[in-house]
Amino acid sequence: MSTEISAPVQTADHRPRRSIGRTVKNYVALTKPRVMELLLVVTVPAMILAEGGLPDLWLVIATLIGGALSAGSAGSFNCYIDRDMDRKMKRTEHRPLVTGEISDRNALLFSWVLGVVSVVWLLLTTNWLAAALSAAAIFFYVVVYTLLLKRHSEQNIIWGGIAGCFPVLIGWAAVTGDLGWPAWVFFLIIFLWTPAHYWPLSMRYRDDYAAAGVPMLGVVRGRATVGLQIILYAWATVASSLLLIPAEGIGWIYAVVAVASGGYFILQAHRLYGSAIRGQEGKPMQVFHGSITYLSVLSIAIAVDPLLPF
């Protein structure tokens, strides 16, 4: 008689269950929180400048919530659409749609929910113009940049970057209900800043973008050409920042910061170009991070000046 005892049949699903905290973390990752943070940094200064002082605290909070939902929706849509490219890039290989932590269907549903809620929220808590601008920002980033430009044009980040300029318009509109010329100048600053900010990243991750078939400038052009374009856009950004000096509420602090931080930004761009023409890689990520510092400092100056009594 055999003494072998057969193992019991496993009928239960023993796949590891993801914790709620991990699931939330993955959905947050879909929204590209670092990009969201940078967009929200410029919203509050635009509101302070529009008000000529501190706006109503609830209005600021409501606008930031709506802006975060809008930016999160755009970022999530981008992750969903670009999931095939993300699988080919080391920089994005840990995104939740690549790892399978979140299903494609759930990501798409999440994107739509955030987008609809952002528009409805801003309509209920601010005004129709801010809500319409939120919808336009999502449309521009998802359709114009991600679907139409990113895979097909080396100028993708130039025109696609317009989506990142909308937060200043949303902030201004939330306060005033219209769009004054200082809002458009702030818009122009971010529009010109975006290529100079992003192209160093395309230089650093050139192989990644090439593997994914994305015609970023850093892929289709040599380092010297990209470096020169970064210089041109850095100079244009700083020049446009000076156009804000005559605006009501702007004073000497902003003027000094715009010139000093702008000089730093331009210097970093020239150093990168100098390395490129010598056939060296240089430090593109230093320019990338420096550009973030520049915009953050400039935004702080915009927020501080209208609050001073002189």
Q: Domain segments of the chain: what residues?
A: 23-178, 180-310
Confidence of residue 9 (pLDDT cuts 50, 70, 90): very low
The better pLDDT of the pair 305, 125 is held by 125
- In the predicted model, what is the mean pLDDT of residues 214-224? 87
> What is the distance between the alpha carbons of residues 227 and 199, in angstroms, rounded to a whole number?
8
**Is there a contact between 252 and 180 (Cβ–Cβ < 8 Å)?**
no
If you search the block for the tokens 């003494």, which residue do you land on?
3
**Which of the following CATH numbers is that of domain 180-310: 1.10.10.10, 1.20.120.1780, 1.10.645.10, 3.30.420.10?**
1.20.120.1780
CA distances from 118 to 105, 134, 292 (A): 20, 7, 25
Residue 255: pLDDT above 50? yes
Residue 79: pLDDT above 70? yes
- In the predicted model, what is the mean pLDDT of residues 264-277? 93
pLDDT at position 17, please? Answer: 58
> What is the distance between the alpha carbons of residues 244 and 67, in angstroms, rounded to a whole number?
23
The percent of residues in the chain predicted with pLDDT above 90, rounded, is: 62
pLDDT at position 132, please? Answer: 97
> What is the distance between the alpha carbons of residues 289 and 82, in angstroms, rounded to a whole number?
24
The better pLDDT of the pair 5, 206 is held by 206
Q: What does 255-289 look like in DSSP terms, one character per residue?
A: HHHHHHHHHHHHHHHHHHHHHHHTT----HHHHHH
> What is the distance between the alpha carbons of residues 233 and 57, in angstroms, rounded to a whole number?
35
> 69 is written with which tokens?
């939902």
pLDDT at position 213, please? Answer: 85
Task: Note whether 23-178 and 180-310 share their fold.
Answer: no
The percent of residues in the chain predicted with pLDDT above 70, rounded, is: 94
> What is the distance between the alpha carbons of residues 153 and 145, in angstroms, rounded to a whole number?
10
> 30 is written with which tokens?
């879909």
**Is there a contact between 142 and 74 (Cβ–Cβ < 8 Å)?**
yes
pLDDT at position 14, please? Answer: 44
pLDDT at position 310, please? Answer: 64
- In the predicted model, what is the mean pLDDT of residues 28-56? 89
> What is the distance between the alpha carbons of residues 276 and 23, in angstroms, rounded to a whole number?
43
Confidence of residue 207 (pLDDT cuts 50, 70, 90): confident
The CATH number of 23-178 is: 1.10.357.140
If you search the block for the tokens 């990644």, which residue do you land on?
208
